[in-house]
Amino acid sequence: MTKEKEQQQKDEQFMQKALIEAKAAFDAGEIPIGAVIVCKDRIIARAHNLTETLHDVTAHAEMQAITAAADALGGKYLPECTLYVTIEPCTMCAGAIGWAQLRRIVYGATDEKRGFHKYAPEALHPKATITAGILEQECRELMRQFFLSKR
Amino acid sequence: MTKEKEQQQKDEQFMQKALIEAKAAFDAGEIPIGAVIVCKDRIIARAHNLTETLHDVTAHAEMQAITAAADALGGKYLPECTLYVTIEPCTMCAGAIGWAQLRRIVYGATDEKRGFHKYAPEALHPKATITAGILEQECRELMRQFFLSKR
């Protein structure tokens, strides 16, 4: 198996874990976005969107995952970690990802309306790499189902 | 007294409260930035930067103030509130300010390096108004003293 193929398999496995988080958000009536943070092939943080439950606009999956990962590692920077998140991060989360110095971000589906690419394209660490489109259909479908159910 | 002059006096009074928070951060060895959120001329949240203490890059003064204000009001949106913060918000905080729908932001000194004007100029609510330069000297001087002491 090529190195690229192996990485893609790993990415899909970790995105599955982020999707489990997103589904937990869905079941709780939250916009279904989930995230995990991986350090040396080990998941050190899992989180899902809790903005409704906590009445807190800052309680996005990525924000909570960053806080939890820093807590797990005992330091506030995460340069050796990868963030997996089902939907493209927003401006706020991209800013936090930049501060945390995360060097790799993997997301499922793009967010045309609120994604950071549009509003804060330089928010991430200059050396950060981005992989988009991992399990895109599943990630997007969960969002579609959620907003359909809210109509 | 004109309406403008009255507003300026109020802004200076509330910024003084944000400066008290910034000084508390300074004394705790934190980058000295403080914030208060005001609703109908009443302070409903006060916070200062706690990134070192909490080992958490997301623990900026503004983020904590938004969480606390939403908690105080019992809802996650803050359209009738004003945020006072000693230094121009960063991309992350501007994103959070946008999500919270804060309609007025007052800050002391600009942040040339990390301020949202440069990296995420459209992050705020489209109807949000910004007042800059309130007690600018005091806000900036506190930062200068802090970084001088760290050399």
pLDDT tens digits for range A12-58: 999 999 999 999 999 999 999 999 999 999 999 999 999 999 999 99
pLDDT tens digits for range B17-32: 999 999 999 999 999 9
A92 — pLDDT class (breaks 50, 70, 90): very high
**Global model pTM greater than 0.90:** yes
Collect all residues from A whose CB is shorter than 8 A from any CB in B: 51-52, 55-58, 63, 66-67, 70-71, 74-77, 90-96, 98-100, 119-120, 122-123
Q: Report, as an integer, the average pLDDT of A121-125.
A: 92
Q: Report, as an integer, the average pLDDT of B109-135.
A: 94
B81 — pLDDT class (breaks 50, 70, 90): very high
Q: Report, as an integer, the average pLDDT of A76-102.
A: 97
A64 — pLDDT class (breaks 50, 70, 90): very high
Q: What is the pLDDT of residue B151?
A: 80
The answer to the question of whether B139 is labelled as a binding residue is no
Q: What is the pLDDT of residue A151?
A: 80
Q: Report, as an integer, the average pLDDT of B105-125.
A: 94
Q: Give domain B3-39+48-146's CATH superfamily.
A: Cytidine Deaminase, domain 2 (3.40.140.10)
Q: What is the pLDDT of residue B1?
A: 79
Cα distance between residue A82 and residue B143, in whole Å: 32
Chain A residues whose CB is inside 8 A of the B66 CB are 56-58
Among candidates A52, A77, A51, A50, which has minimal Cα distance to A66? A77
CB pairs under 8 A between A and B: 99
Q: What is the pLDDT of residue A56?
A: 96
Q: What is the pLDDT of residue A60?
A: 98
Q: Is A62 among the residues known to form the active site?
A: yes
Q: Report, as an integer, the average pLDDT of A107-112.
A: 97
Q: What is the pLDDT of residue B150?
A: 85
Beta-strand pair A81-87/A42-48:
unpaired
3-class secondary-structure state, position B52: coil
Q: What is the pLDDT of residue A150?
A: 85
pLDDT tens digits for range B46-78: 999 999 999 999 999 999 999 999 999 999 999
Which are the catalytic amino acids of B?
62
Q: Report, as an integer, the average pLDDT of A114-128.
A: 92
DSSP B125: -
Q: What is the pLDDT of residue A1?
A: 78
Beta-strand pair A81-87/A104-109:
parallel
> What's the 3-state SS for chain A?
CCHHHHHHHHHHHHHHHHHHHHHHHHHCCCCCCEEEEEECCEEEEEEECCHHHHCCCCCCHHHHHHHHHHHHHCCCCCCCEEEEEEECCEHHHHHHHHHCCCCEEEEEECCCCCEHHHHCCCCCCCCCEEEECCCHHHHHHHHHHHHHHCC
3-class secondary-structure state, position B83: strand
Mean residue pLDDT of chain B comes to: 96
pLDDT at A142 over 90: yes
Q: What is the pLDDT of residue B90?
A: 98
All residues at 6 or more sequence positions from B114 whose CB lies less than 8 Å from its CB, including other chains = B90, B91
